[in-house]
Amino acid sequence: MQTVNIHAAKTQLSRLVEQAAAGEEIIIAKAGKPICRLVPLAAATMPPRKLGMLAGKLDVPDSFDDPLPDALIDLFYKGPVFPEKSARSRKDER
């Protein structure tokens, strides 16, 4: 375990981080008193994913991939993006 003054830690941070990542524990001190510890992060372990968790619980209708109705498509491509703003800007143009 290595103890480093905070001023030295500021100037040598990259090197100290590399040492900590390699497994070394570094104590950072201010005026000789330890104030924090620089340690490597533990490897995150995630449990394996369980496949098929929702099997039989969801129902996707056969019409899922059917084309959208023309009225809905018109709203996407011909409708106003911001209706309130569009109405205000029309009033301002008069």
How confident is the model at residue 91, as a pLDDT? 56
How confident is the model at residue 44, as a pLDDT? 73
In a domain, 31, yes or no: yes
Neighbouring residues of 2: CB distance < 8 A, sequence distance ≥ 6: 19, 24, 25, 26, 27
The domain total for the chain is 2
Per-residue pLDDT of the chain (94 residues; tens, 9 = 90+): 899 999 999 999 999 999 999 999 999 999 999 999 999 988 778 888 889 888 889 899 999 999 999 988 888 888 777 666 555 555 555 5
In a domain, 73, yes or no: yes
In a domain, 58, yes or no: no
Count other Cβ atoms within 10 Å, centred on residue 93: 6
d(CA 4, CA 8): 6
How confident is the model at residue 85, as a pLDDT? 58
How far apart are the two ends of the chain, measured CA to CA in Å? 76
Contact indicator for 38, 16 with CB cutoff of 8 Å:
yes
In a domain, 78, yes or no: yes
Query: Can you give the CATH number for the domain in which 31 is found?
Result: 3.40.1620
How confident is the model at residue 93, as a pLDDT? 56
In a domain, 86, yes or no: yes
Domain that holds residue 34: 2-38
